[in-house]
């Protein structure tokens, strides 16, 4: 089967997703068309225009898989051939549960207007798709709740049954974790003396998210302040990694200084090498999240698959993937948990990491194959109804 895959804002997590599809569903021939992950507002509004005149979209396909950022209804108008092809819309995130950055200059009414425009565009895209896949129940449910709320506020002209139609074709399908993640976990299962405390004896904590406000940078700074103040820094080492950008947020500069002054600063900054990244995860004991926006949390899930004990907010998609005993309600809870884990590490009683292999491609491949069949069936049924 020839599959056209559209990723109009091709961030690292989106690349991770489509590379997994291409590398594991080898019975299909993928043509991947992407746009760079910059100029977010323009990408969201203008991707249909950017895509419309790309000759690769006219090659003739059996299926389209597009991310939810794709302005699918407009694109089909400019490329009518795409209207006759079954389409899966994949939601990595949704604009109804995305936190606005109140710290940005000019944030307020203008941002709200842009947000509503993006929300309506995503509704048009969802209506145009034959199957809607979400990477978590949290993502699906917050999208559908948001759609219902927005449609209910519109003044008139809203057809009945739109929300029910979207619900009927919505399913949950996580982004599977890549196989190299589990190759790293094998070593942890075989027994890693340094992980168990025979190295420098310090609890190694890793925070591995994008350096942006939605990953809770203010909360992370407060947490680090509290941790440094309440524990013996000789017992901890903290790695602050993840994707960083040209402008380093001031919170990250202060976090680096706090940890450095306490002698608890590990690796700080992005790791270009995938091998080095997985090795650092494997050699760490705890993966920490402070996110206020997370629809699946691949960074945390990969770290857990590499043997890290998670410590995450009791919210968002974490409630689906991370056991309750590893979720915290407040920053004080998180600090107490880290102090407790440090003591467990010193006494050799660290809890085991959860087994994430149910999220591997080996376990998820059949589901993806079934989704492809279902999208084609949904399209055929819709076409028959329109006759």
d(C-alpha 64, C-alpha 56), whole Å? 12
Return the number of other C-beta atoms located less than 10 Å from residue 245's C-beta: 11
The string of DSSP codes covering 3-71 is: EEEEESS--HHHHHHHHHHHHH-TTSEEEEEE--S--HHHHHHHHHHHHHT-GGGGS--SEEEEETTS-
Q: Which of 235, 307, 255, 250 is nearest to 278 (CA)?
A: 307
Positive or negative, the CA dihedral 362, 366, 367, 369 is positive
Q: Which residues pair with 204 in a beta bridge?
A: 237
- pLDDT(380) > 80: no
- Alpha-carbon distance of 308 to 354, in angstroms, equals 8
- For CA atoms 134, 312, 274, 44, the dihedral sign is positive
Weakest mean pLDDT among 55-69, 199-213, 373-387: 373-387
Query: In which band, very low, low, confident or very high, does the pLDDT at 22 lie, cut at 50, 70 and 90?
Result: very high
Confidence label for 105 from pLDDT (cuts 50, 70 and 90): very low
Scan for tokens 């002698």, then name that residue: 263
Domains 2-176+361-386 and 179-358 share a fold: yes
**Residue 138 reports pLDDT greater than 90:** yes
pLDDT of 193 higher than 60: no
Mean residue pLDDT of the chain comes to 91
- Check whether 140 has a pLDDT greater than 50: yes
Tell me: the pLDDT tens digits for 335-367? 999 999 999 999 999 998 889 999 999 999 999
Residue 248 reports pLDDT greater than 80:
yes
> 316-320 long-range contacts, Cβ below 8 Å, gap at least 24?
316/138, 316/291, 316/292, 317/135, 317/136, 317/137, 317/138, 317/139, 318/289, 318/294, 319/138, 320/136, 320/137, 320/138
- Give rounded-to-5 percent helix, strand, coil for the chain: 55, 15, 30
Convert the pLDDT of each residue in 158-176 to its tens digit: 999 999 999 999 999 999 9
**Separation of alpha carbons 99 and 102, rounded Å:** 9
- pLDDT tens, 8-19? 999 999 999 999
pLDDT at site 197:
45
- pLDDT, position 200: 67
**What SS3 class is residue 98?**
coil
Q: How confident is the model at residue 231 (pLDDT cuts 50, 70, 90)?
A: confident
Range of lowest pLDDT (149-153, 231-235, 256-260, 321-325) = 231-235
What is the DSSP code string of 102-116?
A: TTSTT-SHHHHHHHH
Q: Which residues have a Cβ under 8 Å from the Cβ of 301 and sit 6 or more positions away?
A: 177, 321, 356, 359
Give me the residue spans of the domains in the chain.
2-176+361-386, 179-358
Q: Which residue has the tokens 């209506």?
A: 127
Is 246 a residue whose pLDDT tops 90? no
Q: Using DSSP, state whether 122 is helix, strand or coil.
A: helix
Q: What is the DSSP string of 141-202?
A: HHHHHHHHHHHHHS-S-PPTTHHHHHHHTEEE-PPPBPHHHHHHHHHHHH--TIIIIISS-P
Query: Does 3.30.70.260 match the CATH number of domain 179-358?
Result: no
Band the pLDDT of 106: cuts 50, 70, 90.
very low
For the domain made up of 2-176+361-386, the CATH class stated in words is: alpha beta
- As a whole number of angstroms, the distance between CA 60 and CA 70 comes to 19
Q: What angle do CA 62, 95, 112 make, to 5 degrees?
A: 140
Q: Tell me: the pLDDT tens digits for 262-320?
A: 999 999 999 999 999 999 999 999 999 999 999 999 999 999 999 999 999 999 999 99
pLDDT of residue 110: 55
Q: How far is it, in rounded angstroms, from Cα 67 to Cα 314? A: 27
């Amino acid at each position: 089967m020839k599959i056209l895959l559209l990723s109009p804002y091709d961030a690292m997590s989106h690349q991770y997703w489509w590379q997994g599809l291409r590398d594991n569903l080898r019975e299909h021939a993928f043509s991947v068309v992407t746009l760079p992950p910059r100029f977010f507002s323009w990408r969201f509004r203008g991707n249909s225009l950017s895509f419309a005149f790309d000759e690769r979209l006219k090659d003739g396909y059996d299926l389209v898989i597009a991310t939810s950022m794709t302005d699918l209804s407009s694109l089909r108008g400019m490329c009518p051939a795409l209207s006759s092809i079954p389409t899966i819309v994949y939601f990595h995130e949704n604009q109804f549960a995305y936190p606005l950055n109140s710290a940005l200059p000019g944030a307020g009414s203008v941002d709200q207007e842009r947000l509503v425009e993006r929300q309506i565009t995503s509704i048009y895209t969802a209506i145009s798709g034959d199957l809607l896949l979400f990477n978590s129940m949290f993502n699906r449910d917050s999208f559908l709740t948001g759609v219902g709320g927005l449609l209910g506020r519109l003044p008139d002209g809203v057809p009945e049954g739109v929300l029910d139609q979207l619900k009927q074709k919505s399913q949950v399908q996580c982004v599977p974790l890549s196989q190299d993640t589990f190759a790293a976990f094998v070593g942890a299962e075989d027994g890693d003396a340094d992980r168990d405390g025979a190295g420098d004896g310090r609890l190694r904590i890793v925070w591995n998210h994008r350096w942006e406000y939605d990953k809770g940078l203010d909360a992370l700074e407060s947490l680090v302040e509290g941790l440094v103040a309440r524990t013996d820094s000789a017992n901890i080492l903290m790695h602050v990694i993840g994707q960083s950008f040209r402008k380093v947020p001031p919170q990250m500069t202060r976090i680096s200084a706090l940890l450095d002054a306490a002698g608890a600063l590990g690796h700080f900054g992005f790791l270009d090498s995938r091998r080095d990244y997985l090795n650092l995860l494997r050699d760490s004991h705890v993966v920490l999240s402070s996110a206020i926006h997370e629809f699946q949390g691949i960074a945390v899930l990969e770290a857990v698959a590499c043997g890290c004990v998670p410590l995450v907010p009791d919210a968002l998609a974490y409630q689906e993937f991370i056991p309750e005993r590893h979720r915290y309600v407040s920053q004080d809870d998180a600090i107490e948990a880290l102090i407790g884990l440090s003591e467990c590490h010193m006494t050799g009683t660290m809890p085991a990491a959860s087994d994430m292999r149910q999220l591997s491609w080996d376990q998820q491949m059949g589901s993806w194959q079934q989704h492809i069949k279902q999208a084609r069936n949904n399209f055929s049924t819709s076409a028959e109804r329109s006759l």
